[in-house]
Amino acid sequence: MATMASTLSGRPPDVKEVHIVWITAGLGCDGDTISVTNAEQPSIEDVILGAIPGLPKVHLHNPVLAKEVGNEFMEYFYRAERGELDPFIFVVEGSIPNETIKREGYWAAQGTDPETGQPITTCEWIDRLAPKAWAVVAAGTCATYGGIHAMEGNPTGCMGLADYLGWDFRSVADIPIVNVPGCPVQPDNFMETALYLLYQAAGLSPMIPLDERRLAQVPGQDRLLGAGGQLQRDQTRLDAWRRRLPERRRYLHRLHHARVPG
């Protein structure tokens, strides 16, 4: 009997399984994860339960949504680091602090290093996993541009993921960082972008088209992926125009979308 995957393209996906390793330990509120649970086009359940034709099996490892806790959950991160979850899409949620600008302590971390007993900082996880990820996605305005934490005067020195890794970063699949801003991220924007990447990982779609801000576009069209694509573009345009806003509005706008490049 033909599988759903084979009926879509005439051939099965290139890989049987793809993992999504999602860290919410940037400075943020987990709101993007919660927002994505409202997605309908497609829903996160449809993707994970195999209801989308052509997709490989998708395993989601997100600390807010996982049934595993503690070391059992952390094991997925260690396995990704060891190359045992290949391929995996690395999703970063929350703003990236600068751990180099203080004398002691840490700004953000997830898990404890079993050898040193010290927290593993969020920056260290990004350093460990981003170079091994099939694709790297910044979910939400905090991860994309730094968000409210990147306000002037914030002692954490927060920044967006592309500012941390470099805007010329490429994943092992030669994909730039994929930015999906929004506070919180618009659910269908995120899921349609994730779906595109999953199809690409399966070898069923070409390289994801990204504009200069690393926003995913509909192939061949000047519009962004997802039902909320225009909303996302309008917000990004507003981000770029913020310098033209009157001082009071500019201040309020910076509270919400601080440190937008460009």
Task: Give the footprint of ligand SF4 on this chain (CB under 6 A).
Answer: 28-29, 31-32, 93-94, 140-142, 147, 183-184
**Residue 148 beta carbon to ligand SF4: minimum distance, rounded to whole angstroms:** 6
Strands 109-112 and 119-121, sheet pairing? antiparallel
Nearer to ligand SF4, 15 or 65 (CB): 65
Residues contacting residue 21 through CB under 8 Å, at least 6 positions apart: 61, 76, 77, 80, 85, 88, 89, 90, 91, 129, 133
* Min dist. Cβ of residue 211 to ligand SF4 (A): 20
Comparing CB distances to ligand SF4, the nearer of 18 and 185 is 185
* Minimal distance, residue 167 CB to ligand SF4, in Å: 19
Nearest residue (CB) to ligand SF4, 132 versus 214: 214
Task: State in angstroms the smallest separation of the CB of 146 from ligand SF4.
Answer: 9
Q: What is the spatial distance between Cα 49 and Cα 28, in angstroms, rounded to a whole number?
A: 28
For ligand SF4, the closer CB: 178 or 183? 183
- CA dist 139 and 187 (Å) reads 10
Q: How far is the CB of 222 from ligand SF4 (least distance, A)?
A: 25
Q: What is the DSSP string of the chain?
A: ---HHHHHHSS--S-SEEEEEEE--SBS-SHHHHHHTT--TT-HHHHHTT-STTPPEEEEE-TTT-S--HHHHHHHHHHHHTTTT-SEEEEEESBB--TTSSSSS-S-EEEE-TTT--EEEHHHHHHHHGGG-SEEEEESHHHHH-GGGGSTT-TT--B-HHHHH-TT---TTSPPPEEE-BTTB-HHHHHHHHHHHHHHHTTSS-PPPB-TT-BBB-TTSSSBSSTTHHHHHHHHHHHHHGGGS-HHHHHHHHHHS-S---
Smallest gap from residue 34 Cβ to ligand SF4 (A): 8
Q: Which C-beta is closer to ligand SF4: that of 120 or that of 150?
A: 150
User: Please, which residue, 156 or 200, has the CB nearer to ligand SF4?
Assistant: 156
Q: How far is the CB of 182 from ligand SF4 (least distance, A)?
A: 7
Q: Which is nearer to ligand SF4, 183 or 208 (CB)?
A: 183
